[in-house]
Amino acid sequence: MSSTTVPNCDVADINLASQGKTRIEWAAREMPVLDLIMKRFSEERPLEGVRLVACCHVTTETANLARALKAGGADAVLIASNPLSTQDDVAAALVAEYGIPVYAKKGEDVDTYNRHVRIALDHRPQIIVDDGCDVVATLIKERQEQLAEVFGTTEETTTGIQRLRAMIKSGVIQFPVIGVNDAETKHFFDNRYGTGQSTLDGVVRATNILLAGKVVVVVGYGWCGKGVAMRARGMGANVVVTEIDPIKAVEAVMDGFRVMPIAQAAPIGDIFITVTGNRHVIDVQHFEKMKDGAMVCNSGHFDLELNLTGLAEISKDRRPLRRFVEEYELKSNGHRVIVLGEGRLVNLAAAEGHPASVMDMSFANQALSVEYLVKNKGKLSAGLHNLPKEVDVEIASLKLDAMGVKLDTLTPEMVEYINSWEHGT
Ligand code: ADE
């Protein structure tokens, strides 16, 4: 262990720190854009003394974001954004090797999760990096007296932004929020390629099943659903998509997938994966129709996409089969429905979340959003903002440089053409 002073924390086992550090360094190799930002931050210190709370999945990738924020001078505290997604060795390393206070334990109960949110708010954050909007929601519900201290917040997920829009509509947001998920270098890549790969990784690590030949039902065809469907097809699965949005449904059809209502998909699916951001999209009437041995899991932010309370009520028996695999036996027909990762994000519960290479761009957006909020303190209106488009382009350009990919540039003749209207037939 290094000589860093160990701050206050609530982690599972501080002795895991050295293993965590090696894994954090391994992830850093795939995060060149964030690394450039971290180097600049340590020279310029744009976040000097800013009290910051980050509520994120405590992974090797998040650890590198936390290091970058600290290098910029932030006085940062990290808590988990999901009770099952924490990597305990990473939490230990952040505390013992990097001197960053962490309150997160894999498998913590909901009371502990909420207690950690309140401890984080006791830090009196001026900036909040949120993932799912739990810290911001608690701040507004319980800490009105702290609102004036907040420069702004950032939000990582589609679900969190949906929640923020509802908050803005009810008039409770009094500070600027950067919707990191809305950046193109975030959702085009993280949601699609990150969720696509890591969700199947979670299913396979939990079960060791073969995907080839299976009917995989993807519930929701947003950016995450597109990624899951694409990668499941790549593994040889026969993919069915369910949707409520006509445009997304047409897109899924033209991408070559069968589209049908969940009621129709329920009896034919082998594996169901929810990625909608909505509640009970698979409900008891669907569980009742499933084949014996059908598997269900969720890769949306919250654990309410599957109605697991309802499933428990219609079941006569329930038993764990493997880590993150639980079998429910239905009263009506004796069929067994297998639930993965307790209905929580299967990619983070049973695997390690999105790989570092894609989180590099997401967290470059986060780090630059924090800097933007600090630089523009007091100047931005309350409500949702995007990072300027140039920042998105800069992140993409740095990523391409790191991958050794070169681009073409417009010739003067091309510039003249796209800026004129006179040329035609
Ligand atoms: N969300 C999805 N994957 C993640 C990861 N690896 N780290 C942090 N947040 C994530």
123 CA to centre of ligand 1 in angstroms:
24
**Residue numbers of the domain that contains 270:** 195-349
Is the beta carbon of 353 within 6 A of some atom in ligand 1? yes
pLDDT at residue number 6:
74
Residues 127 and 45 in one domain: yes
Rounded Cα gap, residues 99 and 67, in angstroms: 10
Is residue 168 in a domain?
yes
Mean predicted confidence (pLDDT) in 124-129: 98
Mean predicted confidence (pLDDT) in 187-192: 97
Is the beta carbon of 23 within 6 A of some atom in ligand 1? no
Give the tokens for residue 102: 């962490």
19-56 tens-digit pLDDT: 999 999 999 999 999 999 999 999 999 999 999 999 99
Rounded Cα gap, residues 68 and 363, in angstroms: 10
131 CA to centre of ligand 1 in angstroms:
10
Residues 227 and 359 in one domain: no
Which of the listed residues 359, 360, 362 should we mutate to test ligand 1's pocket, taking the one with most ligand atoms within 8 A of CB?
359
62 CA to centre of ligand 1 in angstroms:
7
Mean predicted confidence (pLDDT) in 93-118: 97
Residues 263 and 345 in one domain: yes
Q: Going by C-beta distance under 8 Å and a sequence separation of 6 or more, which residues neighbour residue 371?
A: 41, 46, 47, 72
Rounded Cα gap, residues 100 and 107, in angstroms: 21
Residues 258 and 334 in one domain: yes
369-406 tens-digit pLDDT: 999 999 999 999 999 999 999 999 999 999 999 999 99
Q: Using alpha carbons only, what angle is made at residue 146 by residues 143 and 147, rounded to the nearest 5 degrees?
A: 95
Is the beta carbon of 160 within 6 A of some atom in ligand 1? no
Mean predicted confidence (pLDDT) in 300-319: 97
Rounded Cα gap, residues 395 and 401, in angstroms: 10
Is the beta carbon of 62 within 6 A of some atom in ligand 1? yes
Maximum separation of any 2 CA atoms in the chain, in Å: 74
Q: Please give the distance of CA 364 from its chain centroid, rounded to a whole number.
A: 14
pLDDT at residue number 220:
98
Is residue 416 in a domain?
no
Task: Judge contact between 361 and 185, C-beta under 8 A.
Answer: yes
Which of the listed residues 87, 198, 223, 345 should we mutate to test ligand 1's pocket, taking the one with most ligand atoms within 8 A of CB?
198
Rounded Cα gap, residues 338 and 208, in angstroms: 14
Is the beta carbon of 238 within 6 A of some atom in ligand 1? no
Residues 361 and 332 in one domain: no
Closest by CA position to 42, among listed 9, 81, 68, 8: 68
Q: Going by C-beta distance under 8 Å and a sequence separation of 6 or more, which residues neighbour residue 94?
A: 20, 24, 58, 63, 66, 78, 100, 102
Residues 299 and 362 in one domain: no
Residues 233 and 259 in one domain: yes
Q: Whose CA is nearest to atom 9 of ligand 1?
A: 57
Number of domains observed in the structure of the chain: 2
Is the beta carbon of 349 within 6 A of some atom in ligand 1? no
pLDDT at residue number 1:
47
Rounded Cα gap, residues 385 and 182, in angstroms: 9
Which of the listed residues 61, 64, 361 should we mutate to test ligand 1's pocket, taking the one with most ligand atoms within 8 A of CB?
61
Is the beta carbon of 57 within 6 A of some atom in ligand 1? yes
Is the beta carbon of 232 within 6 A of some atom in ligand 1? no
Is residue 314 in a domain?
yes
Is the beta carbon of 186 within 6 A of some atom in ligand 1? no
360 CA to centre of ligand 1 in angstroms:
10
200 CA to centre of ligand 1 in angstroms:
15
Establish how many alpha carbons lie within 13 A of residue 305's alpha carbon, considering only the half-sphere containing its beta carbon: 28
3-class SS string, the chain? CCCCCCCCCECCCHHHHHHHHHHHHHHHCCCHHHHHHHHHHHHHCCCCCCEEEEEECCCHHHHHHHHHHHHCCCEEEEEECCCCCCCHHHHHHHHHCCCCCEECCCCCCHHHHHHHHHHHHHCCCCEEEECCCHHHHHHHHHCHHHHHHCCEEEECCHHHHHHHHHHHHCCCCCCEEEEHHHCHHHHHHHHHHHHHHHHHHHHHHHHCCCCCCCEEEEECCCHHHHHHHHHHHHCCCEEEEECCCHHHHHHHHHCCCEECCHHHHCCCCCEEEECCCCCCCECHHHHCCCCCCCEEEECCCCCCCECHHHHHHCEEEEEEEECCEEEEEECCCCCEEEEEHHHCEHHHHCCCCCCHHHHHHHHHHHHHHHHHHHHCCCCCCCEEECCCHHHHHHHHHHHHHHHCCCCCCCCHHHHHHHCCCCCCC
Give the tokens for residue 312: 């428990």
353 CA to centre of ligand 1 in angstroms:
5
Mean predicted confidence (pLDDT) in 216-231: 98
Q: What is the CATH number of the domain that holds 362?
A: 3.40.50.1480
27 CA to centre of ligand 1 in angstroms:
12
280-298 tens-digit pLDDT: 999 999 999 999 999 999 9
Residues 290 and 384 in one domain: no
Is the beta carbon of 358 within 6 A of some atom in ligand 1? no
Which of the listed residues 67, 69, 85 should we mutate to test ligand 1's pocket, taking the one with most ligand atoms within 8 A of CB?
85
Residues 18 and 148 in one domain: yes
313 CA to centre of ligand 1 in angstroms:
32
Residues 125 and 245 in one domain: no
357 CA to centre of ligand 1 in angstroms:
11
pLDDT at residue number 4:
60
Is residue 422 in a domain?
no
Is residue 56 in a domain?
yes
324-374 tens-digit pLDDT: 999 999 999 999 999 999 999 999 999 999 999 999 999 999 999 999 999
Is residue 425 in a domain?
no
Give the tokens for residue 318: 């329930």
Is residue 413 in a domain?
no
Among the three residues 349, 371, 386, which one is the final residue of a domain in this structure? 349
Mean predicted confidence (pLDDT) in 193-207: 98
Is the beta carbon of 231 within 6 A of some atom in ligand 1? no
Rounded Cα gap, residues 383 and 424, in angstroms: 43
Rounded Cα gap, residues 335 and 315, in angstroms: 9
Is the beta carbon of 59 within 6 A of some atom in ligand 1? yes
CB atoms within 10 A of CB 359: 28
Is the beta carbon of 56 within 6 A of some atom in ligand 1? yes
Give the tokens for residue 201: 């990784």
Residues 364 and 305 in one domain: no
Please determine, for residue 2, whether its predicted confidence score (pLDDT) is greater than 60: no
pLDDT at residue number 7:
78
Rounded Cα gap, residues 239 and 231, in angstroms: 10
79 CA to centre of ligand 1 in angstroms:
13
66-92 tens-digit pLDDT: 999 999 999 999 999 999 999 999 999
Closest by CA position to 351, among listed 341, 343, 361: 341
Q: What is the CATH number of the domain that holds 230?
A: 3.40.50.720
- Work out the pLDDT band at 3, boundaries 50, 70, 90: very low
Is residue 84 in a domain?
yes
Instruction: Tell me the pLDDT of the chain averaged across its residues.
Output: 97
Residues 104 and 172 in one domain: yes
